[in-house]
Structures are given as structure tokens and as C-alpha cells.
Structure 1
Amino acid sequence: MKVVAFKRELQGSGASRRLRNSGQTPGIVYGGTEPAITISLDHNALYHALKKEAFHSSILDLEIDGVSQQVLLRDFQVHAFKQLVLHADFQRVDQNKKMHTKVALHFVNAEVSPAVKLHGATISHVANEIDVSCLPKDLPEFITVDLANIDVGHSLHVGDLVLPAGVTAVTHGANLTIATASVPAGHVSAEAAAAEEKK
């Protein structure tokens, strides 16, 4: 994905306010061997890009005054109640160095799992993203979590995930829970209902 930005010379809150009033968003690019530089981006383009999941977990081509470099979105601030992006931080990417970032989880096959099919259970998503470490070329847009085999009373953990080649989960020693299956209170499973009818 491509992002166009311009070098920003003026600093300070007054300069940032003037930028925002003119439809621009202030930002910063840091990391790598070059010094950090302040930039400005088109607010509307950035606002719509932030709505796309891929924008948060993909290597972006950031073009600053015609020169392109690869970056990751690291942080952004949004106004408390206005639809306004106040600031965006980008980190330069080195193709030869492993990076540490968050990747979204996409849950599939819940409806065919024994938990849902046989017991009418509810599957709760405990986490919607995980920390990973990988080279930039291996960074996945998202990681698929297959719920096809989950049953009532069971949980899926980070250790159960099938990660793409070259990608490792960063768990700091804990096998974090990703999803759990439980029957809602007062809900009778299909098996229990059938057993009741036979009595």
C-alpha cells in the first residue's frame, strides 16, 4: 500500500494546528540508520486508510517528496469525539532485520465446530491480534484461526495456531488464550434435549 507524505519544517502545536486546519495530519518517520523526520499527510486519505485492516499490519510504501521508503504504521492518535486523526507515527523497515509487530486474527469455521453444532455453544474471541516476530517479507496481513475442532469447555491458545512460514508468536513465555467455547446459562444442548425426550 502506498502513502504519500511531505517533509514538514515547522514544529510545535501552533504549526500542527495550522496543518490540521488545512486538511493535513502531522506525522513522524523514525528508525533505521537515518534521523527521524517530521512529515505531513493528507488527512482524508489517511483517515480512510486507517479503516482498512491491512493498513495496520502491512509494509507500506511511504513516498516523501518523491522518494519512497518502506515503513510500518506504529501509532496514531484520533480526536476524542471528532472524526479527526491528530498524528501518525511510522517506523522504517529493514528488510534484513526481524521486526516485532501485531497481526490481526481472523476466526473461521466456528459454525461447523462441535461446540456450536452439537451444543449450541458460544465461542468467545479472547484476543483479536497477537504479537509476532518475522522478517518484513514474511509479514502476514492476518493469521487465520481455525475453530473447526473446538468443543465445549475447550480453549484455543497461541500454541495451537498454525503460523505462516518464517513467523513466530511473541508470547513472553505464556501460552495465551485466543478463543473459548462455552454453553450460555440456561441453554440445553441438542444431545441433552434428545435424552430428555426419551425419558
Structure 2
Amino acid sequence: MAKQETLQAAKRDVKGTTASKRLRRQGTVPAVIYGSSQREYMIQLNSKEFGDLVRRQSSQNFIVTLEIEGAQEKSKMAIVQDVQKDPLTGNLIHVDFRAVSENETIHAVVPIELTGEPAGVKGGGLMEQLLRNIEVHCRPGDLPSNISNDVSSLEIGDSLKVGELNFPDGVTTKMDGEVLVSLVTQTRAAVSAGGQDDGDVADEGENAEGEASEGSDEAASE
């Protein structure tokens, strides 16, 4: 289960491009909370505090408790739904939160973390991780920071599928269970080396047959 963070915020009374730019120059990022049972609610956050919080998370979708100064409802649980950043500077532009309740089912994207060194890799193979993130469904209190799976037993030619992932209790996914997460393959170098060895054996066999044939011819001529 991911640690639930607390974030200080304040009610925002101004909106529009000009007002948002002014807030960002002051080190504040505009944000909005929305949800199925409420209208959009404008807030603002300290840009540095929120940026530090995001960097501590393994996933962009995480649960926070918003402590909102100046709001009628002082505390609200929400999931970080979207974080917009300037593509050139990386500075925060806007944040979307979605209000959630403890008993509702939410969906969020979390990373897949593979642990251990596959037996096939120790034997000269290569592991490819084909799926790095997965959408999960659970209650807010059950949201994991990642889906962790040990791949130590995978040999060359083995694979790990979505249906074989270890999901925590209360956490599910709607993704097809046959989708590949990772695959251990033989490296090209190993394949080439194997082919070279076979060729050497074949050459040695041909040489031996040639020598035997020459010996027979010499014996016949004598």
C-alpha cells in the first residue's frame, strides 16, 4: 500500500491565463479538484512543495489528503489525476485532482517492478521488460505504489504475463491476462557462438572423413 501524503493548499478565487501566469511567477501552481459528486473547485499549491512530493512518488497517480485553507470543507481526499509541465523548462503549469471517498473503487496507473536476476540471464540470456506500467482498480486505501514481481526463476525462453503478476489483496486489473510483461531471450552473441561451435564440429567431422578416405586410397594403391 502506498503511503498517503498530506498536502497544504488554499482556495483560489482567480482564474484565467493572466491570473495563472501571475500565480506561477509567485511560486504557486493553479489546480482544480473535480469529482462525480461535486462541481469543479479551484485551489492553488506551493509549486516547490508539490514538486518535491511528486519526485518522491513512483507513480504520477497517488492519493493525497488536501488541507485547504479558506475552504468550507477543510480536508479532502483526492487522487492526483494529471500534472501538466512546461515541455522546455519542466516547470509545473497545472494540476488536476479527483475527489475520492474511502469506499469507492478508483483506477490508477502504477509501475511494474521486477525484482531478482532471472536464471536465464545468469546463463547468458537477456531479459526484456515489455510492459512497465499497468492500470489497477482498487479502493483508495489499497492503492499500491507499484506491482512487484520476483523473476529469479525465469529461464531462457520463459515469460511473465499480466495474469501471473502478484497483485495485493483488493487490487485488480482489467488488462488481458495474456499480455506479456517480460521475456527472457537468448542473446545474439550466444546464438552466434552456438552456431560457430556446431560449424566447428561439422568441419572436424568432414576433415576426419577426408583423412580416412585418403588413407583408404593409399592402401588400395599399394
Q: Under a length normalisation based on structure 2, what TM-score does the superposition of the two structures give?
A: 0.78
Q: Is the 8 A contact 1:32 1:94 kept in 2?
A: no
Aligned pair count reads 194
Residues 76 and 128 of structure 1, relative CA distance in 2, 3 Å threshold: same
Indicate the RMSD between aligned Cα atoms, in angstroms.
2.6
Contact preservation (8 Å) 1:76, 1:85:
yes
The offset of 1:32, in angstroms, is: 4.3
Q: 1:6 to 1:108 in 2, by over 3 A?
A: same
Q: Partner residue of 1:117?
A: 122
Structure 2: where are the runs of 5+ without partners? 202-222
Equivalent residue for 2:76, pick from 69, 79, 93: 69
Query: Which piece of structure 1 moves more, 183-192 or 1-10?
Result: 183-192
Shift of 1:21: 0.7
1:187 aligned residue: 190
**What is the TM-score with the length of structure 1 in the denominator?**
0.87
Cα deviation, residue 151, structure 1? 1.8
Return 5+ residue gaps in structure 1 as ranges. Answer: none
2:132 alignment counterpart: 128
**Is it true that 1:94 corresponds to 2:98 in the alignment?**
no
Distance verdict in 2 for CA 1:194–1:5, change over 3 Å? farther
**Distance between the aligned counterparts of 2:115 and 2:194, measured in 1?**
24
Aligned position for 1:176: 179
Matches of 1:83 and 1:100, distance apart in 2 = 26
Is the 2:161–2:180 Cα contact (8 Å) retained in structure 1?
Answer: yes
Q: Which has the higher helix share?
A: 2
3-state secondary structure, aligned to 1:103 = strand
Which residue of the partner structure matches residue 145 of structure 1?
A: 149
Aligned partners of 1:12 and 1:134: how far apart in 2? 35
